[in-house]
Structure 1
Amino acid sequence: MSNSSSPSTSTRVKICGLTRVVDVQAAIEAGADAVGFVFYPPSPRAVTAAHVATLISYVPPFVQAVGLFVNVGAHELQDILSHVSLDLLQFHGDETPEQCQQLGALTGKRWIKALQMKPDMNIQTEIKNYKDAGASGVLLDAWHPDLHGGTGHAFDWKRFPKPEDFDAPFALILAGGLTPENVAEAIEQTHAYAVDVSGGVEASKGIKDKQAIEKFVAQAKRPSQHAERWRH
């Protein structure tokens, strides 16, 4: 269903892979809507629950704290959530719709699912499956055979679904290879509800660049000529 009659709204921005207080503060000061923390030990941006508890203490109301998980077990997830208060869970592994639904019900948390844009994937069907399971949104990322996100590469934005591909609005998030230089163009092409960036605003893995964050958020939120948006 088209949202062409809906008023334009600013694209939401999530800065992910945060490991330092100064970077959390930079993201918030720049106007990010969400900050993300990676609970996946193999990642160079991985953090512990104890560390994130400190980082979240710098997150004000109305900015969401998002936890990124890859094939996490129920007990491990519950243990992490007993130490840190997250607003949203982001499942970035091979979790099925049923597994995501179960983890969401177990923890009482809203969740989104990241999908890698594999060449042979029926993206509309995959999105519908997770939507029907209770996802608050779906994040579309570049595909890599060995990495669960953080590839630094973009996929063909022409593959990004359009509102008319679905019978009701649903929040789709764009990720993969986004930078301050290309995010405005990416939004113009996809009309994404939100964008998610990590490596594109880093000085090195896990270490953010304050000026890059500021430029990225400003470019993502600049007025768009398109009024049509994905909305809840």
Structure 2
Amino acid sequence: MTDPLVKICGLSTPETLDAALDAGAAMVGLVFFPKSPRNISIENASRLAERARGRAEIVALMVDPDDGLIDEVVERVKPDWLQLHGKETPERCARIKMRTGLKLMKALGVSEGSDIDAAMPYIGIVDRFLFDAKPPKGGEVPGGNGIAYDWSLLKELDLGVPVMLSGGLAPDTIAEALAISGVSAVDVSSGVERERGVKDENLIRAFIANAKRAGVGE
């Protein structure tokens, strides 16, 4: 058994960031999307990124960003990854990758098996897929909605690119999610919040501890 890779997304305070780092998060996510309750200023994000640098990989999440936002985040926050959580086409992803030289994680919404097929055109362009639940109808935020889907859709999925599971994860569901999906990497945001957009240090610690206890593989 090995520890799964855990990403805590939507962090915005030194205290919750430290809780994630101290508990062993491999990735920490900073959200740059004004409609999200987890949106963070570039100034604050830069401070948090410096605090995390060298201890975890820093992921900058954006939704259909323009080049100006990308350039500012890359220059000031210096993330290790860009997570694209909008309707970015494979061509747009390729241009962003060439522009920044950074690793790309493409988030795709899932509600049924055929949704996985949407990943195919991105193979060879992005460095990781994040499969999240599709947002509720009319929802303005593409992720972090606390919605689960059929995690077994990812079982034995081999796209030639690492896969991360998100959607409906929390301290009390992570062991089941790992067992059902068979993935080795997970992402959580709303599942470690005491209220929408407000992370809870104890829930972060519990999530990571339960993920490590469950493990992955034989």
TM-score by length of 2: 0.92
> Where does structure 2 lack aligned partners over 5 or more consecutive residues?
none
**Paired position in structure 1 for 2:204:** 213
CA distance in 2 between counterparts of 1:190 and 1:90 reads 21
**Paired position in structure 1 for 2:13:** 20
Q: Does 1:100 align with 2:111?
A: no
1:119/1:75 CA distance change after superposition, 3 Å: same
CA distance in 2 between counterparts of 1:204 and 1:224 reads 28
**Aligned-partner SS, 1:58:** helix
In the TM superposition, residue 207 of structure 1 has moved relative to its aligned partner by 2.0
Q: Does 1:131 align with 2:123?
A: yes
> Where does structure 1 lack aligned partners over 5 or more consecutive residues?
1-7, 228-232
CA distance in 2 between counterparts of 1:224 and 1:53 reads 32
Cα RMSD over matched residues? 1.7
In the TM superposition, residue 111 of structure 1 has moved relative to its aligned partner by 0.5
Q: How many residues align?
A: 215
CA distance in 1 between counterparts of 2:216 and 2:77 reads 40
Correspondences of 1:59-208 after superposition (within 5 Å): 59-119=52-112, 121-123=114-116, 125-132=117-124, 134-144=125-135, 145=137, 146=139, 147-163=141-157, 165-166=158-159, 168=160, 170-208=161-199
CA distance in 2 between counterparts of 1:80 and 1:149 reads 20
- Say whether the 8 Å CA contact 1:71–1:92 is kept in structure 2: yes
* Deviation by residue 1:157-200 (Cα, 9 ceiling, x = unmatched): 1222424x54x4x2110001100001011001111121000111
- Say whether the 8 Å CA contact 2:111–2:150 is kept in structure 1: no
CA distance in 2 between counterparts of 1:40 and 1:24 reads 19
**Aligned-partner SS, 2:29:** strand
More helix by share: 2
- Say whether the 8 Å CA contact 1:188–1:226 is kept in structure 2: no
Q: Which moved more, 1:174-183 or 1:186-195?
A: 186-195
**Aligned-partner SS, 2:92:** helix
In the TM superposition, residue 203 of structure 1 has moved relative to its aligned partner by 1.4
* Deviation by residue 1:38-59 (Cα, 9 ceiling, x = unmatched): 0000111100111101111211
In the TM superposition, residue 205 of structure 1 has moved relative to its aligned partner by 2.5
* Amino acid in structure 2 at the alignment position of 1:180: P
**Paired position in structure 1 for 2:26:** 33
CA distance in 2 between counterparts of 1:86 and 1:23 reads 18
- Say whether the 8 Å CA contact 1:71–1:93 is kept in structure 2: yes
1:223/1:117 CA distance change after superposition, 3 Å: closer
Identity %: 36
**Aligned-partner SS, 1:149:** coil
- Say whether the 8 Å CA contact 2:83–2:107 is kept in structure 1: yes
In the TM superposition, residue 120 of structure 1 has moved relative to its aligned partner by 7.0
* Amino acid in structure 2 at the alignment position of 1:127: A
